[in-house]
């Protein structure tokens, strides 16, 4: 069953290529959505796809070589359809 999740990453996740890593990981898994930097230093991702694939996606984000993820929070979000996976720029 497809759903949309809002995932917030905190730690050293900005200016280390994390958004591109998130986009590539999500695209590889066939997930759609978007990722953006927040002004408080966190990164926010909206991800739509199969629940099991979203869980796998979250675990794979820890593999970003230059990021240091301290905390991840994920909550169900209103179902949203995206065309592909994009990086939102400031």
Give the active site residue among 24, 37, 42, 89. Answer: 37
Q: Do residues 23 and 87 lie in contact, with contact meaning Cβ atoms separated by under 8 Å? A: yes
Q: Which two tokens stand for residue 86?
A: 């994009």
Give the active site residue among 19, 23, 42, 66. Answer: 19
Distance CA 64, CA 4 (A): 22
Instruction: Label the pairing between strands 68-77 and 32-37.
Output: unpaired
The question of whether 24 is a catalytic residue gets the answer no
Active site residues: 19, 37
């Amino acid at each position: 069953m497809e759903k949309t999740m809002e995932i917030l990453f905190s730690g050293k996740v900005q200016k280390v290529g994390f958004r591109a890593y998130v986009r590539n990981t999500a695209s590889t898994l066939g997930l759609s959505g978007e990722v953006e930097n927040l002004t408080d230093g966190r990164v926010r991702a909206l991800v739509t796809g199969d629940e099991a694939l979203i869980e796998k996606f979250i675990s794979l984000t820890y593999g970003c070589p230059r990021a240091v993820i301290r905390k991840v929070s994920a909550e169900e979000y209103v179902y949203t359809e995206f065309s592909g996976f994009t990086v939102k720029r400031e």
